[in-house]
Amino acid sequence: MPQERISNFARMVEADRVRKEVYTDAQIFEREMERIHETVWIYCGHESQVPKAGDYCTVQIGRQPMIMVRGKNGKVNVLYNRCPHRGNMICGDREGNTGEQFRCSYHAWTFQLDGKLKNIPMKSAYEGTRYEKDNPDCSVKKAARVENYRGFVFASLSSSGPSLKEFLGKSIVAFDDMCDRAPAGEVEVVPNCFRVIQHSNWKLFLENQLDALHPSVVHQSTGRAAHEVEKILAKKARGGAAPLSYHMLSAFATVTIDKWDDFQTLNYPYGHCILTGYMGLRPQDPDTLAYDKVMIKAYGKKRFEKIVGVNIHHVLVYPGLSVQSPLQQLRAVRPLGVDRTLTEIWHFRLKGAPEAIYRRSLAYYNLVNSPATLINADDLENFWKCHQGLSSDGGDWVSLARHHGRDIEKNGVVSSGPKMGTSEAPMRNQMKAWAHFMKDAR
C-alpha cells in the first residue's frame, strides 16, 4: 500500500466506503491497537468472575496481557501481567486464586494483590542499586484507569480521556437493561466462557453484529431446519407450541427482510450502536407470566413495564463488546492480529429470576454461542472469505452505502431512516469513530 495513505488515516474512510487496508494492513492494525484498544475503555470481565480476594482472571486489552484480580479490600484491580524484574508473565493460567500475593515463577519476587512489591528475595544483593522496595518500577504496573458499572469492569490504559460513563453514553443501556431485568437488580456470570477464534480482522465481527440484512442470507440453513422441526413439535403439542428455543433459531429464516427493516438502528458517538427489535420480546407463556409476577413485586407495575418495554436486539459497545441484554449474553472481541480475532462469550444469570428464565436464555447461549453453534459457523465462514477477498487486489474499497444519505441525525444520535433497519448506518458509524480515533496517528 502507498506510504502516504498509511500516514493519512482520515482519507481511508469516506462517508459511504472504506479502504480495504483498514482491515488487512498489519501496520494499521498496530496503530489501531495503540490508538483505540489501548486507549479507550475496554471490558475486562464481570466482578462475579472474581468473587473472593485473590481470585483472578487474565484478559487481553489490545496487545497487552492483563490480570483482573480481586484485592484484599474487595476492590477489583487490573494489572499488567508482567513481572517488573525480568518481564515474566505473572499468571500463566486463564483464571485461578493466587492467595494473598502474586509470586513470580522465575525469581520469586512477590507482589500484593494491587501490584505493589511485597518482597524481593536476596534483598541485600540489591542494596545501592535502583531496585529498591519503594521504587515504583519494582511494582507491577496497573491499568491507568479502572471503573466498574453495575458489576461490569472496564479498564483504560490511558490516564486521560472521557470517564467510563461519558464514553459509554447511551450504550450504557446494555448493562442497565441486563441488570434491570433481574428482580434483584443485578446479574452474575454463569461460570463458563466459550472461546472461538475467527480468521479475520476484528472489525468484521463488530460490523456483522448489527447487519440486519445478513441473517436471512447467512443463517437460512439453520432457520429452515429449525422451522421444520418446530412445525412437527407444535403439531405434537396439539395446540401448544414448540419450545421457544426453536423459534429463536427459526426466526433467522422466518423473519423476512422487510420485517428486519422494521427494526431501527441507533448510532452514537465513539462508535457505539444499537439494533432495536427483539425476537419474542413479550411472550405470554406461563414461565414469562411467573417471571412478570416476581418483577412486578420487585419494581412495581409502572417501573416493570418500563423495564420489559426496552426494545433491544443488540448493543454494540465499540470497539470490543457485543451485548444481547434481553438474553443476558455478551461477546467480548479480542483482536489477536490483523487477521485473527478471539471472541469470548459469556452468559449471565438474572439474580432473583425464576429458573425457567435462566434456562430460556441458556438455550440460546448453547445453540447460538457454543463452539458447536448452529448459527455462528456460517458467520465465521463469511469472515474468513471476507478477509481473503479483501487481501486481494481485486478492488480497493469496501462499500457501506446501503441507505446512505437517508440517515436522520438528531442531538448527536444518528438513526437509520424509517423502515430501513437493514441500513449500513452502524458500519458507517463505527468507521466514523475509527477515523476519529486514528486521525492524528502516525
Q: Which residues contact another protein by CB under 8 A?
A: 190, 192, 194-199, 218, 220-222, 224-226, 228-229, 232-233, 246, 249, 342, 347, 355, 358-359, 362, 365-367, 370-374, 376-378, 380-382
Min. distance of Cβ 343 from another protein in angstroms?
9
In the three-class reduction of DSSP (H, G, I as helix; E, B as strand; rest coil), residue 406 is classed as coil
d(CA 421, CA 403): 9
Nearer to another protein, 379 or 407 (CB): 379
Parallel, antiparallel or unpaired: strands 17-19 and 397-399: antiparallel
Nearer to another protein, 60 or 139 (CB): 60
Q: Which residues contact 105 (CB under 8 A, 6 or more apart)?
A: 88, 92
d(CA 58, CA 44): 9
Nearer to another protein, 2 or 286 (CB): 286
What phi, psi does 211 have (nearest 5°)?
A: -90, 95
Q: Measured at the alpha carbon of residue 361, what is the angle toward residues 359 and 366, in degrees to the nearest 5?
A: 90
Min. distance of Cβ 64 from another protein in angstroms?
18
User: What are 430's three cell numbers?
Assistant: 463505527
Nearer to another protein, 48 or 366 (CB): 366
Nearer to another protein, 167 or 194 (CB): 194
Min. distance of Cβ 13 from another protein in angstroms?
29
Min. distance of Cβ 377 from another protein in angstroms?
4
Nearer to another protein, 180 or 211 (CB): 211
Nearer to another protein, 135 or 388 (CB): 388
Min. distance of Cβ 2 from another protein in angstroms?
32
| Residues shown for the chain | 442
For residue 328, the one-letter residue type is Q
Integer Rg of the chain from CA:
23
Alpha-carbon torsion (353, 357, 359, 361), positive or negative: negative
d(CA 16, CA 406): 12
Min. distance of Cβ 198 from another protein in angstroms?
8
Nearer to another protein, 59 or 425 (CB): 59
Min. distance of Cβ 229 from another protein in angstroms?
5
Min. distance of Cβ 84 from another protein in angstroms?
29
User: What are 440's three cell numbers?
Assistant: 492524528
Min. distance of Cβ 275 from another protein in angstroms?
22
DSSP 366-378: HHHHSTT-SSHHH
Question: Using N-to-C axis directions, what is the helix angle for 376-390 and 202-209, rounded to 10°?
Answer: 130
Nearer to another protein, 53 or 89 (CB): 89
Terminal Cα-to-Cα distance of the chain (whole angstroms) = 15
Q: Which residues contact 359 (CB under 8 A, 6 or more apart)?
A: none
DSSP 256-313: -HHHHHHS-EEE-GGG-EEE---TTSS--SHHHHHHHHHHHHHH-HHHHHHHHT---S
